[in-house]
Amino acid sequence: MTRLLLRGAEVGGELVDVRIADGRVAELGRALPRLDASEQVIAARGGALLPGLTDHHLHLAAAAADLTAVVCSPSAARDADELAAALLQAPRDDRGWIRGVRYHASVAGELNATRLDGLRSDAPVLLRYGSGARWALNTRAATALRLADADHPGIERGADGRPTGRLHQADAWLSERLGARPLTAGAAAPGGPPLAELGRRLADHGITAVTDAEPRLDTRAVDAVARAAACGDLPQRVRLLGAPLDVALPPDGPTAGPWRIALGDPGPHAVDDLAEEIAAAHRTGRPVAARCTSREDLRLLFAALDRAGSTPGDRIEHAAVVPAGAVPEIRRRGLHMVARPGLLADRGDDTGPGDTTADPTTDPTTTDQTADPADRHRAASLIAAGVPLGLSSDAPYGPLDPWAVMRAAMLRLTPAGEVAGRSERLTAAQALAGYLSPAHAPGGRIGRVRAGAVADLVLLGAPAGEAIRRLDTGLVRLVLIGGRPVGGSDHRRLG
């Protein structure tokens, strides 16, 4: 077990030495003596020592699979010419495929095989929309996947019966067709998901805990995550929203989080059915995490909770549209909120008229499309009303970097440079708190660096005041999980 002595770290505004032993913070004090030669000493140089960051909602397998893909969001490609240039420069994987992710129709319009051929036709191209539920393929990819002979209902066909090159809700089928070995349906990608690389990148960003939001995982998917955690490929502490309700997880592996319910996916829920699903989760001792992307989803959830009852830990994911009148209803039910403000900077307001297909659960004919900007990705007003608000990347559908997400929450700038709901901007401290809040209580009370606490910690290269002003991942010097160095610019030299 690594033993460390951090000299001169800023904790709670004071400079102290911090001893780490047996996976915990053993001691804080001034001028602590080094116990013996085996204790490694690190000069913190006044850098802030914080609890580790938690990404409260991401998709592990899909995020891992997308690490080698080209980003096609408006923040990376502003128009068709820039998208074509990005695809032409993109490296092929070991099977010769090119993958694009986080596409938004505001870049180059709705894509089909013909239009994608005009962007790149000399290699099979597989491009996923930002929602993760829709794909576009060029002709080479469609031919390689034999779309013409396939019968999956998600294969879009023209009037002549021939595939258009668009797929809907076909992740599992696509994974199987590609011969990938994904952890979940969301990981459709040639070659399968490299979780070790994802774990490393998360650690270097200061992430010590993650909540995987993939719904309805089977035991194989759970086992795969457990194996990655056990061998160190995935050093973060993991909570699974999709862990089966009727299967007990091993005590030393990933834990079960709230039961994930995706409202509107793949179709509308009946109030009675939703209430029973919520009650079933509550009977097993698990809260629920309901994905709501429209005001209709919120109304349905409120009605179902009124029948099933609420329990501590119930939460709302995304909440892309929250009318002002819904805020006190959220507060009254004691619900936590998990937001994804990084999408504002990455591809604008994904529930707005710029891309009515970006989220398949959003009906472009509803009034959600003309909602007040403050209603979309609401943040500051939730905190002001006493609603606990945690932040997340929603990776790979949003940017993985938590510091970029914090900046997006603070600035609320779209790729076009417009402010999306100025009144909903968070302060830098509020944005940081959204990631510092614990996995079991997004937006809840932040743990303190104190003697006896588990040593899941982030040492920054600047005092807290400067770090809050900068919100930059480059500040992350050392990341500890259970007292073990796993990330940051200094960790490799520690061995």
Q: How many CB atoms lie within 10 A of CB 285?
A: 10
What are the backbone angles phi and psi of residue 298, rounded to the nearest 5°?
-65, -45
**Strand 14-21, strand 4-11: pairing:** antiparallel
pLDDT band at 444 (very low <50, low <70, confident <90, very high): very high
Instruction: Give me the pLDDT at residue 124, please.
Output: 95
CA dihedral 54, 56, 62, 64 (to 10 degrees): 0
Where in the chain are all domains bearing CATH 3.10.310.70? 61-187
Task: Looking at mean pLDDT, say which of 29-43, 62-76, 253-267 comes out highest.
Answer: 29-43
pLDDT band at 266 (very low <50, low <70, confident <90, very high): low
Instruction: Give me the pLDDT at residue 159, please.
Output: 93
- In the chain, the percentage of residues whose pLDDT exceeds 70 is 90
Reported as type and span, the H/E element at residue 240 is strand 237-240
Q: Distances in Å between the alpha carbon of 35 and those of 6, 38, 155?
A: 13, 8, 65
* 199-223 pLDDT, tens digit each: 999 999 999 999 999 999 988 889 9
Q: Is the pLDDT of residue 12 over 60?
A: yes
Q: What is the mean pLDDT of residues 169-193?
A: 58
Q: Is the pLDDT of residue 356 over 60?
A: no
* 20-65 pLDDT, tens digit each: 999 999 999 999 999 999 999 999 999 999 999 999 999 998 888 8
Reported as type and span, the H/E element at residue 383 is helix 380-384
Instruction: Give me the pLDDT at residue 494, please.
Output: 66
- In the chain, the percentage of residues whose pLDDT exceeds 90 is 71
Instruction: Give me the pLDDT at residue 371, please.
Output: 59
pLDDT band at 251 (very low <50, low <70, confident <90, very high): confident
pLDDT band at 267 (very low <50, low <70, confident <90, very high): low
Give the whole-angstrom CA distance, residue 364 versus residue 105: 14
Question: Which CATH architecture is the domain 54-60+193-436 placed in?
Answer: Alpha-Beta Barrel (3.20)
For 154-183, letters b (16+ CB in 10 Å) and e give bbbeeeeeebbbbbbbbbbbbbebbebebb
pLDDT band at 364 (very low <50, low <70, confident <90, very high): very low
Give the whole-angstrom CA distance, residue 264 versus residue 296: 9
Token pair recorded at residue 283: 């009977």
What are the backbone angles phi and psi of residue 67, rounded to the nearest 5°?
-60, -30
For residue 359, the one-letter residue type is D
- Residue 269 CA to chain centroid, in angstroms? 24
CATH number for region 61-187:
3.10.310.70
Give the whole-angstrom CA distance, residue 382 versus residue 126: 38
pTM of the model: 0.86
Where in the chain are all domains bearing CATH 2.30.40.10? 4-46+449-494
pLDDT band at 365 (very low <50, low <70, confident <90, very high): very low
Task: Pinpoint the alpha helices (H) of 120-216.
Answer: 139-144, 171-178, 195-204
Instruction: Give me the pLDDT at residue 367, please.
Output: 37
Q: Is the pLDDT of residue 384 over 60?
A: yes
Where in the chain are all domains bearing CATH 3.20.20.140? 54-60+193-436
Q: Is the pLDDT of residue 440 over 50?
A: yes
Q: What is the mean pLDDT of the chain?
A: 89
In words, the CATH class of domain 4-46+449-494 is mainly beta
